[in-house]
Structure 1
């Protein structure tokens, strides 16, 4: 029997219809002997666990009776992996490329210094009409949490994600540690995925303030944990100015609420920030910032 080489990891909470659609789309991957699938049901109340147990008994399911957060759930899944590579995808995301495993494994084998591969992501409710691209594989600073592959040797070489971030920022946290350990992160445009999200409508969702708050505070946590001390005041000032200029001064007063709450979170978590800080030297900071930013959005 072939030993599995890939684990597909999915964290979900109360999105049964999205998850069912995704699993249907990737069924051909789940049927492969070299693949195992692990799903964390983070406190769903919509019958997700019952559905998985009935329809996908081969999937390794872990359940939280109460929600522990996305990042905590991702840590649990990654710490259960026994295969050489792990692919993390969101429950509302599926592969458009039909042979992703072969492409991913070939790139990892040919490039032993690469620890993470980020995929080409099309954000839309439907798949793109044209999938062609002229983009090439390039190194990046970071990657998308719900659309990447990890070489597990690299994952075990760094601290696990900070569960107290709850949502957002874990990829950049890992990227700084990977950089300091000399692991590389690469963009792999040959692997195209469809993230079934309408970005324009997301702003009107009821969780807009919560998402904004968590995104802001995660960025600020990372400033204080990894940046050289002399860089932090200017970075914080610029971040705040851009939030006011592009959102608050444009009439987005929900953003003002998110900014205030994120600042309170930053102060509250100072002890954790101090405990987990691992600053880049000035030379490392300059080298890191010479890398292209993570490619998160692709348009055909």
Structure 2
């Protein structure tokens, strides 16, 4: 892939002040991106008006009713006309203004690379804000859509992000697909992401429930028989153990996500596209 075109995608919901800061950085990237795709997912805070007035060149998708970050990203991955897509959150952006050249070089050197993920300086973990050494490049089993680059041709050859997840866990689910099909998922420290990690629309218990539910559905969709059921049960117990570590108030709320998972179990089963055990196990063995 010579001189790949790099698109950028962002999904946002009612975090206009964060989005403005990110858009300002994107306009200063050199070279500029091939295109910027933004999905306003049920926004009611002036986001749409701001983008139309200040960034009319961005490809804007407006979801009047929120479809969730996963479905929004899945749609943009099909709409993108670039060879690569840099995925960001509305509160994250690359610190290196020449990062798109670096991305092109990384993917040119690694023809089997499906996903490149990068270290983040994030307010969620304040020690990273001054960290100087983020370690060497290495294979990984997941990534964060707040700062990762995806090869478009690979994405479109696989099931991709699962829209029924709504929010959370689309990254490891997609990484499973890539690794099981002999594609690489790698961490590269050449680019760093500044992630302000906005507290708006974040709820730890809710996110835990979404993560646990979607992890369970992912096992149902991807893990082959006869390993599917025992692994699904293990995931339930593992999430309960985590909830217990956060305190009794977390643990007594676990049935909420169990019920959500059960209600949509037939839909998850219908969308099942099981991978080979060798491929699935390769992902399990990844660091």
Q: Report the TM-score, using the length of structure 2 for normalisation.
A: 0.88
SS of structure 2 residue aligned to 1:247: helix
Q: Which residue of 2 aligns with 1:80?
A: 79
Q: Which runs of 5+ in 2 are unaligned?
A: none
CA drift at 1:282: 3.3
| 1:155-195 per-position Cα deviation (integer Å, ceiling 9, x unaligned) | 11112322111011211222222223322111111111121
1:4–1:35: 8 Å Cα contact kept in structure 2? no
Q: Which residue of 2 aligns with 1:260?
A: 255
Q: 1:279 to 1:114 in 2, by over 3 A?
A: same
Q: Is 1:68 aligned to residue 64 of structure 2?
A: no
Q: Which runs of 5+ in 1 are unaligned?
A: 293-300
Tell me how far apart the structure 1 counterparts of residues 95 and 205 of structure 2 sit (CA, whole Å).
31
2:16–2:47: 8 Å Cα contact kept in structure 1? yes
2:115–2:185: 8 Å Cα contact kept in structure 1? yes
Cα root mean square deviation, aligned: 2.5
CA drift at 1:134: 5.5
Tell me how far apart the structure 1 counterparts of residues 212 and 231 of structure 2 sit (CA, whole Å).
12
Q: Structure 2 matches for 1:37-186, cutoff 5 A?
A: 37-124=36-123, 130-133=130-133, 135-186=135-186
SS of structure 1 residue aligned to 2:161: coil
1:118–1:144: 8 Å Cα contact kept in structure 2? yes
Q: Which aligned runs of 4 or more in structure 1 are off by greater than 6 angstroms?
A: none
2:140–2:187: 8 Å Cα contact kept in structure 1? yes
Q: Which residue of 2 aligns with 1:229?
A: 225
Q: Which residue of 2 aligns with 1:15?
A: 15
User: Which segment is superposed worse, 78-87 or 32-41?
Assistant: 32-41
1:116–1:150: 8 Å Cα contact kept in structure 2? yes
Q: 1:60 to 1:179 in 2, by over 3 A?
A: same
Q: Is 1:285 aligned to residue 280 of structure 2?
A: yes
CA drift at 1:76: 1.8
Tell me how far apart the structure 1 counterparts of residues 180 and 241 of structure 2 sit (CA, whole Å).
34
Q: Which residue of 2 aligns with 1:297?
A: none
